[in-house]
Structure 1
Amino acid sequence: MARRAISLLLPQWSARVFSVELERAPSYFSIGLQGKHRGDEDVPRVFSKVQNYERCYSLLVCGGDRIRLAKCYGELQEKLRRHLPPECVLSPMTSFLPNVKDSLIKGYFVKDNSQSPSASEGLLRDLIQNDPVLVCSYSRGEDGQQWTQRLWSPDSQTHIDMSKASYYVVPSEAPEYHPSTLNIINSDVFYSLEEACEVLKKCGDIIPEAASVMELLPSRAEARSKPDFPVIVIEGLDATGKTTLTESLRAALGASLLRSPPQCLSPMRPSFDREPPLIRRAFYALGNYITAEQIGQEGTKTPVIVDRFWHSTAAYAIATAVTGAVSDLPAEGSDVYRWPTDLLQPSLVVLLTLDPEERKRRLRDRGQGETQEEQELDHNQLFRLRVEEAYRRISGPACVTVDASPSADQVLRQVLLLIRAKCHL
């Protein structure tokens, strides 16, 4: 499988761009024919940062179906962390054809400063023999600046150059679109019940809980008409007051209160949270469809309040897939922000916002454990800004932002005014 993947990639290899995560933002380089090195301006940023490292490697996961690729990508990280010498530093990386959809290949970049390359290279040789992994090594030239890329053969214990030519790494301008944005649709965010189901159907042999999730799904996917009563979704980061507000709205409006993901999926969440993004995102997408079925049932009798819905699923997935600044997100109006055509649309979506320091104080006061994404929100300001902006860009319907810093009673009064104005309650 790895040999076939290489044969498919080789004709396009020199057209590919490589991206390595440095300081939470992508740094790009490409490859070119060997030529005279003209100075520091010809050294890609990622290599100008590795002057203290003797060797570097890239590992790209390619070949096979996307379920196998997703699992292999997650398992590869664990193998590298467990078996590489402690002197090695690991960074996420990708390879892609600029502005070409679904050309993204994910992997890792390894900086190696161990005393002997044998431990690292022994592991890498084992990987290319047994896993769908493409390995390249990078060596520094005699001038100490120019770096050369060489591709390893999957059926040889030595590495070879490509097409009998020498290649060296050169800087590459950032592409028009962040590379991950061309890979989001139905990989990080799902836009139909059918697409999300397709992922879980293929997971039955590796995740026993997948069958249980499938049994809970609606019998068919279809565009749903509005229930008889309004449906109000409350969105926001943790500790913005969603639980307090939703409980108060239930009492004030005599409404039903639902949550997404629904309670029936709680026993399965720990298993899926350990899975790679493709599988984990499909699971949470299906949770929205189960919640939508519950909304349809409750909405025939009373107004329905929903604690998080599709906005959360999409906003966190988009912000995780696209690293870097807010400007790297897909532009407003992009298809990645569109509402799924077969998912029930709420009457109103309220997004609670809060000053970051106040939100962190509330989290500390609650004394509850944080999810991995919540920890990332606290440690990475850019991630928080991307999540908040993704929330704002989702349409069908768009969020109405409400400041959650006043007292709970004041926030409740403001939201009730919104509901009465927009939902005629």
Structure 2
Amino acid sequence: MAFARRPGCLLGRDSGPLRRVCSRTMALPCFVLELPGCTLAHFALGGDVAPHLSNVQDSRGDPRLAALLEPPGRSYSLCVPVAPDGSCAARVRAAKLHQRLLHQLRHDGPFQRCQLRRLLGYCPEGGGVQHGVLLHDPRDSPDTRRALHALLDTCQEAPSPPRLGEFTGDSSHQVWQRLWELRDGQGWHLADGQRVLPVPEPALHPVVPDLPSSGVFPDREAACAVLEACTSFIPEARAVLDLVDMCPDQTQKGRFPVIVIEGLDATGKTTVTQSVSDSLKAVLLKSPPAYIGQWRKIFDDEPTIIRRAFYSLGNYIVASEIAKASTKSPVIVDRYWHSTATYAIATEVSGGVQHLPPPHHPIYQWPRDLLKPDLVLLLTVSPEERLQRLEGRGMEKTKEEAELETNSIFRQKVEISYRRMENPACHVVDASPAREKVLQNVLNIIQNNCD
């Protein structure tokens, strides 16, 4: 696994086995691997220990890494670097390629007996992350290696082809990684090895600084840039952008209150929003609005960066409707920016809830150019109650809805992210009681917080 060149980093092989460093602090490039139980292991690659990493260990220092990277079996890293310019288009291309590789690794015959684990590459001082996967073949079959080479052969025309690394152990129980390189007319060959060095976990998950350009967009312009890069292969992206162009750059709400109702699926959100709207004689809006909601299935099948750009722009489109409607009556909105951000955070931040950005982190702040509601209500029910309601619905589930059911850690990350949102924060409402009681509680909160 190797980094592409980026400004401020010296990452080429010509600089020596340990010279892949970030120039500001001479820091080793690092990697974070998701292990069973949503725990994380951080490691670096190098021949010697960098002076600034005083508590770095050798590969024997973390038995979790040794269990995955040493025999029996064999482990490989496959990473998709972002092109050197780091542009939005480069990020989109890398995300699409990473998605395609994951699909093939999960479904192609030689790989189906292998274990896949999420792997991210990062530089401790910033500069973006690289998405990848650690593939462990418990049988160490030559067919797996041949299939990986064949997979790489299909990607060589990409601006930044994926990099394949192979892990081996030596007699002293050190773990090494060697990169496979394509030599002209000679096929695939293993390069010199670099030692695997466990390193301390950073204070902040390494993907968090990358989120404003990959999932939790700080403004409309950032989300538009992503869909602009998609218009050549997603025609609907142009249609969404045309609708955004029709919206004012800055929207101001009218004199009537705007209330957003958030919640996981099957918390009673649809019923409550309709009931509150009827009680207040309010306009009921939904994000994304119906006329782009028809394209949800298309964007839900895309990588996170594209999917979240679509939902982010849906918020800006519905904001122009909120601005108009709130001049004449109260407005109730079924989901808005908070849901867009929480799902992006929970999806992109690997590991457990302890790896989420801490409370009051800027990622939880409302976008500076998006119309802000007067009140946000978060409906909650117990996991058992929510599952019971879902079973009774019999509706087709999105990928995220399915993961909420099967992955309790993912659900907890979504819920905690909701509760950490600020400016405005969420007012939590217990939606377990009877419908009439929940409605009355919601109306009381609205009365106490809105004119």
Same-fold call, TM cutoff 0.5: yes
Q: 1:107 to 1:3 in 2, by over 3 A?
A: closer
Are 1:146 and 2:174 an aligned pair? yes
Per the alignment, residue 97 of structure 1 pairs with: 123
What's the offset of the Cα at 1:365? 1.4
Are 1:135 and 2:164 an aligned pair? yes
Consecutive unaligned residues in structure 2, runs of 5 or more: 13-18, 22-26, 50-56, 84-89
> For the Cα contact (< 8 Å) 1:325–1:382, is it kept in 2?
yes
> What are the superposed Cα offsets for residues 329-362 of structure 1, whole Å, 9 maximum, x if unpaired?
1111211111111110001100111111111111
Consecutive unaligned residues in structure 1, runs of 5 or more: none
Per the alignment, residue 75 of structure 1 pairs with: 100
Equivalent residues in 2 for 1:12-31, closer than 5 Å: 12=20, 15-23=28-36, 24-31=38-45
Per the alignment, residue 54 of structure 2 pairs with: none
Give the Cα–Cα distance (whole angstroms) in 2 for the partners of residues 303 and 365 of structure 1: 32
Are 1:107 and 2:132 an aligned pair? yes
SS in 1 for 2:142: coil
Give the Cα–Cα distance (whole angstroms) in 2 for the partners of residues 209 and 340 of structure 1: 24
Give the Cα–Cα distance (whole angstroms) in 2 for the partners of residues 152 and 128 of structure 1: 14
SS in 2 for 1:179: coil
Give the Cα–Cα distance (whole angstroms) in 1 for the partners of residues 376 and 253 of structure 2: 14
Equivalent position to 1:370, from 372, 389, 397: 397
Give the Cα–Cα distance (whole angstroms) in 2 for the partners of residues 218 and 421 of structure 1: 37
Per the alignment, residue 24 of structure 2 pairs with: none
TM-score normalised to structure 1 length: 0.91
What's the offset of the Cα at 1:148? 1.1
Give the Cα–Cα distance (whole angstroms) in 1 for the partners of residues 3 and 211 of structure 2: 27
Give the Cα–Cα distance (whole angstroms) in 2 for the partners of residues 318 and 335 of structure 1: 12
> For the Cα contact (< 8 Å) 1:96–1:104, is it kept in 2?
yes
> For the Cα contact (< 8 Å) 1:85–1:114, is it kept in 2?
no
Give the Cα–Cα distance (whole angstroms) in 1 for the partners of residues 58 and 246 of structure 2: 63
Give the Cα–Cα distance (whole angstroms) in 2 for the partners of residues 59 and 121 of structure 1: 9
> What are the superposed Cα offsets for residues 307-330 of structure 1, whole Å, 9 maximum, x if unpaired?
110010001111111122222111
What's the offset of the Cα at 1:183? 1.0
What's the offset of the Cα at 1:53? 4.0
What's the offset of the Cα at 1:197? 0.7
Equivalent position to 1:351, from 374, 378, 389: 378
Are 1:282 and 2:309 an aligned pair? yes
Which stretch shifts more, 11-20 or 280-289?
11-20
Equivalent residues in 2 for 1:37-186, closer than 5 Å: 41-43=60-62, 45-49=64-68, 53-64=72-83, 65-83=90-108, 84-98=110-124, 100-112=125-137, 113-117=139-143, 118-123=145-150, 125-126=152-153, 129-131=156-158, 132-143=161-172, 145-155=173-183, 157-161=187-191, 166-186=193-213
| RMSD of equivalent CA atoms | 2.4
What's the offset of the Cα at 1:5? 4.7
Per the alignment, residue 9 of structure 1 pairs with: 11
> What are the superposed Cα offsets for residues 41-76 of structure 1, whole Å, 9 maximum, x if unpaired?
435523313555432211111143112111111111
Aligned identity (percent) is: 41
Give the Cα–Cα distance (whole angstroms) in 2 for the partners of residues 85 and 201 of structure 1: 34
Per the alignment, residue 406 of structure 1 pairs with: 433
> What are the superposed Cα offsets for residues 346-401 of structure 1, whole Å, 9 maximum, x if unpaired?
01100111111111111111122222112211222221111111111111211111
Give the Cα–Cα distance (whole angstroms) in 2 for the partners of residues 52 and 357 of structure 1: 41
Aligned length: 416
